[in-house]
Amino acid sequence: MAKKVKDAIEKGAKRAKDATDRAATAAKGVADRVEAAGDRVRKSGEKIAKQGSAVSLKVIEQAELNTREAFAAMRAAAAAANPAEVAKIQGDYLRQQGARSLAHAREIGEMIMQIGREATGTEKK
């Protein structure tokens, strides 16, 4: 009888140990997946931050270009010989500025769309 009790205790202990081992293995697997997901999120965040900086720099470059063009137009208008020439300079500037604005908007829009494609994994191949 003592042997049966001892065997039952040993079987129960082995089952408990096996269950504990399976739970520990499963928990380690979950922890590894969570850690890997965290690494991917961190890397993605770093990439998005770099891309955000690129967009900001592009906006600054565009603002600098717009400012240079505005001052060039003002200098030309100040040196104009008559009001008709001033009106032509202003018209040309406005037309060119409109074209620049569209080009800038397209460029920034494409940069933002690329960031979105990369973030969602839908990049053009």
Quote the CA–CA distance of 57 and 44 in Å, as a whole number.
20
The Cβ of residue 61 has, within 10 Å, a number of other Cβ atoms equal to: 12
Per the structure block, which two tokens stand in for 12? 């129960």
**Is 56 inside any structural domain?**
yes
**Is 7 inside any structural domain?**
no
Helix/strand/coil for 121: coil
Would you give the DSSP letter of residue 54?
A: H
Which one is predicted more confidently, 91 or 118?
91
**Is 96 inside any structural domain?**
yes
pTM, to two decimals = 0.59
**Is 4 inside any structural domain?**
no
**Is 53 inside any structural domain?**
yes
**Is 74 inside any structural domain?**
yes
**Is 20 inside any structural domain?**
no
**Is 103 inside any structural domain?**
yes
Average pLDDT over residues 38-53: 77
Q: pLDDT tens for residues 13-31?
A: 888 888 888 888 888 887 7
Q: pLDDT tens for residues 60-117?
A: 999 999 999 999 999 999 999 999 999 999 999 999 999 999 999 999 999 989 888 8
Quote the CA–CA distance of 27 and 11 in Å, as a whole number.
24
What is the number of structural domains in the chain?
A: 1
Quote the CA–CA distance of 108 and 102 in Å, as a whole number.
10
Domain that holds residue 106: 49-119
H/E stretch holding 66 reads helix 2-78
Per the CB < 8 A criterion, the answer to whether 108 and 55 are in contact is yes
Helix/strand/coil for 39: helix
pLDDT at 124: 62
